[in-house]
Amino acid sequence: MNGRKTLGWRGTSIILAIIAITTLFTCGCPNLISISKMEHLSAKLDGTGMTEKIENKAVLIVFWARMSTPCKELLPELCQLQNKYRDKGLVIITVNQDGIESASAVAATLQEFKAELKTIHDSGQISDEFRVEGLPAAYLFNRKHILVEQKEIDTDDIKQLEAAIVKVLATE
């Protein structure tokens, strides 16, 4: 198992909660997400129908804010990735950092960019769990919901992100 642990069936519901979302294991394995840190992400996704949709899927979680130009510029790129790889097993979930009180403004931004992306509203709890330091930030999980890549991204990084997605989808 390459020294990695899987999240199992709990990971599916937790990732959705993340999705979002999560802190790293403290066992010296910096690329693994702690189940306990993912639990309130799971709670956010509970009842959304997303838990079933990510089972055995690669998941890309992207943290963003509507007032950030790099974040907004990334939305159409994410939609293209979602449309291109959805049938191959990729689910993209965005975690908006503007908080639930900005839900209508966030919806307007998504509509402006014609971005049909599953979005979770976060007031900082999920991003704290993931230890997000800058926006936009991407977290790519394989089908076993093991974190394989995390980084701050912008439109210049899309080709690298897409290559990582292709690799994850091809190896599972």
Cβ atoms of 141 and 62 within 8 Å: the answer is no
Beta carbons within 8 Å of 49's beta carbon, 6+ residues apart = none
Burial 95-132 (b: 16+ CB within 10 A, else e): bbbbeeebeeebeebbeebebebbbbbbeeebbebbeb
**Domain segments of the chain: what residues?**
8-170
- pLDDT digit string, tens, across residues 35-44: 333 444 555 5
- pLDDT digit string, tens, across residues 69-100: 999 999 999 999 999 999 999 999 899 998 77
CATH of 8-170, one of 3.40.30.10, 3.40.640.10, 1.10.10.10, 4.10.490.10: 3.40.30.10
pTM equals 0.75
User: What is the pLDDT tens value at each position of the chain, 172 positions in all?
Assistant: 454 545 554 444 445 444 433 322 323 333 334 333 344 455 555 555 555 567 788 989 999 999 999 999 999 999 999 999 999 999 998 999 987 778 888 888 888 888 888 888 887 888 888 889 999 999 998 888 888 899 999 889 999 999 999 999 998 6
Residue 159: CA count within 13 A, CB half-sphere: 1
